[in-house]
């Protein structure tokens, strides 16, 4: 039977288990994993772990936030033991693990983030060798995964098992409808079986499609792939002002008066409540608008709780003036992407010293990321100019949690 651990995330970021974890013991007897164990585990696996790690370190701690995992190899490997290899043929079923971070209070934005051991072998599948793909959907990737059938079965079973633990508090009881009809009706209903699975690595998206077996009942309405561009974050300068701007423009932030304009030009932002949770940098016209509102925001970007730069936009009339790079640089210089250096959300000093010994000063570099469509060449050039490199593709996918329970063998829903 699949072993799954569920951690409740506390307001201070600590993880609390309902029961001790089998196989995890010290000289004092059985002991649950500590929060720093999980954070250090993820830190050792940068940059692949970046979205989940930063979400735990920087994201809001909403009531009911859960970390759901199969048993993780959290303890430091024994001296001389080889690290994870990049050859996918070497992985065994017992080496597979799966982690989810679930925040159902984030509805209608992303509610599920994942990290799988199979992501550590990125680059072995044909679609992972680059360049970024424009329109490849998960269903076309499921037969390209470079792992044995036994490993794929284990990974798929784990994924369904951990997803089946996600709470569902509301269901449509008005009658039988197709998945598409249900999704249209309840995708904006908190706690429903239909929720958004975001930042989904192409390998995990392919596993979901594999579990779906072409029925279309589990994976609903997948997005186009977004290229994950990872880049270094300069040390925060603490400056009030960013780079010098052209005459008639001033530095600002995004406020409620701007929300309608932001959502009109960005299809990912789904509600004003989502915008209200994000910190921003903006460049706007100095002259106020006729209706008494502040001048129009002509360039803006947001810092999301998962350590990403989101929704970079420059008004067409103001492009080719360096505003995109300026507004992102301003955002990066605000210190919003710095991980905590102490407490339950910081990697242990042992891990930090270990990374420093292996990677030198590069280990001190804070990393951030952005998800960009292949067609958005302007944003790609901006992040490349800031040192960004494409590393993998991700998807945003609506999932039917009831269908996941069925696939996991749980008929109780």
> Is residue 209 domain-shared with residue 333, that is, in the same domain?
no
Can you give the pLDDT at residue 410? 66
Q: What percent of the chain has pLDDT over 90?
A: 48
> Is residue 19 domain-shared with residue 155, that is, in the same domain?
yes
Can you give the pLDDT at residue 30? 42
Which stretches within 213-318 are classed as H helix? 259-265, 272-276
Domain with 63 in it: 5-77+87-226+393-407
Mean pLDDT for 93-100 is 95
Does the residue 12 lie in any domain? Answer: yes
Any idea of the CA torsion for 63, 116, 413, 180, to the nearest 10 degrees?
100
pLDDT, tens digit, for every residue of 197-234? 999 999 999 999 999 887 778 988 889 899 999 999 98
> Is residue 189 domain-shared with residue 281, that is, in the same domain?
no
Assess whether pLDDT exceeds 80 at residue 79.
Answer: no
Does the residue 82 lie in any domain? Answer: no
Report the predicted TM-score, pTM, of the whole model to 2 decimal places: 0.89
Can you give the pLDDT at residue 143? 86
pLDDT, tens digit, for every residue of 296-349? 999 999 999 899 999 999 999 999 999 999 999 999 999 899 999 888 899 888
C-alpha span between 218 and 398 (Å, rounded): 8
Does the residue 353 lie in any domain? Answer: yes
Does the residue 413 lie in any domain? Answer: no
Assess whether pLDDT exceeds 80 at residue 412.
Answer: no
Please provide the average confidence, as pLDDT, over all residues in the chain: 85
Does the residue 255 lie in any domain? Answer: yes
> Is residue 211 domain-shared with residue 278, that is, in the same domain?
no
pLDDT confidence bin for 35, thresholds 50/70/90:
confident
Helices then strands, counting H and E runs in the chain, come out as 11, 16
Mean pLDDT for 90-119 is 93
> Is residue 282 domain-shared with residue 150, that is, in the same domain?
no
> Is residue 354 domain-shared with residue 258, that is, in the same domain?
yes
If one counts the domains in the chain, the total is: 2
Where is 232: in which H helix or E strand?
A: strand 226-233
Does the residue 412 lie in any domain? Answer: no
Whether the CB-CB separation of 383 and 202 falls below 8 Å is answered with: no
C-alpha span between 347 and 4 (Å, rounded): 23
pLDDT confidence bin for 274, thresholds 50/70/90:
confident
> Is residue 283 domain-shared with residue 166, that is, in the same domain?
no
Whether the CB-CB separation of 203 and 117 falls below 8 Å is answered with: no
**Phi–psi pair at 359, nearest 5 degrees:** -120, 5
> Is residue 122 domain-shared with residue 219, that is, in the same domain?
yes
Mean pLDDT for 62-77 is 82
Rounded to the nearest 5 percent, the helix, strand and coil shares of the chain are 30, 20, 45
> Is residue 187 domain-shared with residue 111, that is, in the same domain?
yes
pLDDT, tens digit, for every residue of 397-411? 999 999 999 999 864
Mean pLDDT for 247-272 is 87
> Is residue 366 domain-shared with residue 403, that is, in the same domain?
no
Residue 396's nearest CA partner among 108, 128, 56 is 108
Can you give the pLDDT at residue 125? 79
72: helix, strand or coil = coil
> Is residue 387 domain-shared with residue 403, that is, in the same domain?
no
C-alpha span between 189 and 185 (Å, rounded): 8
């Amino acid at each position: 039977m699949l072993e799954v651990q569920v951690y409740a995330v506390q307001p201070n970021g600590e993880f609390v288990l309902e029961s001790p974890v089998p196989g995890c013991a010290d000289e004092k007897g059985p002991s649950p994993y500590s929060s720093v164990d999980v954070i250090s585990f993820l830190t050792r696996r940068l940059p692949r772990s970046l979205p989940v790690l930063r979400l735990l370190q920087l994201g809001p701690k909403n009531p009911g936030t859960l970390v759901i995992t199969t048993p993780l190899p959290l303890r430091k490997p024994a001296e001389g033991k080889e690290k994870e290899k990049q050859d996918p043929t070497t992985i065994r079923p017992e080496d597979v693990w799966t982690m989810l971070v679930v925040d159902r209070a984030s509805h209608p934005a992303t509610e599920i983030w994942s990290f799988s051991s199979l992501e550590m072998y990125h680059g072995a599948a044909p679609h992972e060798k680059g360049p970024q793909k424009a329109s490849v959907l998960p269903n076309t990737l499921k037969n390209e995964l470079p792992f044995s059938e036994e490993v794929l079965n284990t990974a798929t079973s784990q994924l369904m098992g951990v997803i089946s633990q996600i709470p569902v508090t509301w269901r449509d009881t008005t009658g039988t409808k197709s998945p598409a009809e249900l999704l249209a009706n309840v995708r904006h209903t908190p706690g429903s079986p239909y929720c958004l699975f975001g930042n989904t690595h192409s390998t995990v998206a392919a596993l979901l499609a594999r579990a779906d077996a072409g029925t279309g009942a589990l994976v609903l309405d997948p997005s186009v792939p977004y290229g994950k561009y990872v880049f270094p974050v300069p040390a925060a300068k603490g400056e009030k002002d960013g780079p010098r701007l052209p005459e008639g423009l001033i530095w600002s932030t995004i406020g409620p008066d701007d929300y309608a304009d932001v959502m009109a030009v960005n299809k990912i932002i789904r509600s004003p409540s989502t915008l209200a949770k994000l910190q921003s940098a903006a460049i706007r016209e100095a002259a106020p608008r006729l209706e008494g509102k502040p001048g129009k925001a002509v360039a803006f970007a947001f810092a999301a709780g998962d350590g990403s730069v989101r929704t970079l936009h420059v008004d067409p009339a103001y492009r080719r003036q360096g505003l995109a790079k300026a507004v992102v640089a301003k955002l990066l210089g605000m210190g919003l992407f710095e991980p905590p250096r102490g407490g339950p959300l910081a990697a242990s000093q042992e891990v930090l010293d270990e990374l420093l010994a292996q990677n030198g000063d590069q280990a001190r570099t804070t990393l951030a990321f952005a998800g960009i469509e292949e067609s958005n060449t302007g944003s790609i050039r901006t992040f490349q100019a800031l040192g960004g490199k494409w590393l993998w593709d991700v998807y945003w996918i609506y999932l039917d949690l009831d269908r996941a329970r069925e696939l996991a063998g749980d008929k109780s829903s």
